[in-house]
Structure 1
Amino acid sequence: MIGKFPVIETERLKLREVTKEDASDLLRYLSDEEIVKHMGLPPFQSVDDAYDEINWYSSIYQEGTGIRWGITLKENDQVIGSCGFLNRQPKHFRAEVGFELSRKHWGQGIASEALEAVVQYGFSQLQLERIEALIVPENLPSQRMVEKMGLQKEGLLRHYEYTNGKFDDLYMYSLLKDDL
């Protein structure tokens, strides 16, 4: 997957690589407790937290285990969220998709537009057969969004992750290439 970072454009959005210059944008929305409460992260406290996140995006891309795009509106290039793949398993043709969006952009269809483009990229460019989404039961808006896109709820993974000092149950959703 190494090489020039791919840019994806949709009707309203430009999905692009997140760089150190975007740290203040990430800090702005990832310091919001409402945004991170379902992500297994504490709210960001400083720009160093944002740099750590950007470094993680870069490392998963370099290692080929994932790719995370910054979500920007075409008119201003400010990062307002991110969307992409992690835990990519090329041998098994699958990856997990994740996303988050700044609160002031909720309810406008932006996350759905970004997720749809990323899913298409995964099937067409990464040769994925299966895309998974792991969502905490309390995160009803994300569940509704992925269900609307056609992901199927497969079941509950009990105490699947340990984050922020507690065990989290996660719903497993999936979309197969043939489901489209």
Structure 2
Amino acid sequence: MVQQSEFPVLETERLTLREINKSDASSIFKYLSDPEVMKYYGLEPFESLQDALDEISWYQTIFNEQTGIRWGISLKGTDKIIGSCGFLNTVSNHYRTDIGFELSKDFWGQGIGSEAIIAIIQYAFENTNIQRIQALVEPLNIASQKMVEKAGFLQEGLLRKYEYTCAKFDDLYMYGLLKEDYGKNRSKTLI
């Protein structure tokens, strides 16, 4: 992924996607301590503000090491982070990356997650050399499956016992979106 020296700020009709910093720790802690939000996140619900600060530190590390980027999601006109989305596990020599996202339960069902991931997909395909974006989604996480499908991802198969998180093995559906498919489907996915 071509890395910029400055963190890119993205805007959509309703959202601002920006860099997350330490001053956002209490907002992040609020939603990442919610068991419902964390149900499919692959981590236990956060127990302290330090957990949120550690997460923010990880966001900064993946950006600096060019292995990913994580945007904070805020409603336009506010600065409060209500979720995050971005890319991780970027493999530059294979031109691929994984997408991830989560949103405060207070904002579920409003299309905010879809609006955010469509913006970052557009950023990746139009501003970097990424050719493939993949999403790993637990079979019971129907909402995330619908969101990535709406964004144009195709389900490619089931990875059995692919991850060991929270003291259990998780099966994950592999979804993929290719740059050439994005170009064909762009008009269908834009909100």
Q: TM-score range by the shorter chain?
A: over 0.9
Match of 2:186 in 1: none
Structure 1 runs of 4+ aligned residues shifted over 2 Å read: none
Identify the match of residue 125 of structure 2 among 108, 113, 123. Answer: 123
Q: TM-score, normalised by structure 1?
A: 0.98
Secondary structure of 2:169's counterpart equals strand
Residue 134 of structure 1: aligned partner: 136
Deviations 1:77-133 (A, max 9, x none): 100000000000111111000000000100111000000000011111121110000
Counterpart for residue 78 of structure 1: 80
Q: CA RMSD in A?
A: 0.7
- Structure 1 residue 159 displacement after superposition: 0.7
Q: How many residues align?
A: 180
1:176 paired to 2:178:
yes
2:155 corresponds, among 131, 153, 159, to 153
**TM-score normalised per structure 2:** 0.93
**Amino acid of the residue matched to residue 130 of structure 1?**
R
**Which amino acid is 1:83 matched to?**
C
Displacement after TM superposition at 1:2 (Å) = 5.1
Structure 2 counterpart of 1:31 = 33
Aligned to 1:109: 111
Post-superposition Cα deviations, 1:4-53, rounded to whole Å, max 9, x if no partner, equal 11100111100000000000000000000000110111001110000000
Contact 1:71 1:79 in 2 (8 A): yes
Q: Structure 1, residues 135-161: CA drift from partner, whole Å, max 9, x if none?
A: 000100000111111100000001111
Letter in 2 for 1:24: S
SS in 1 for 2:37: helix
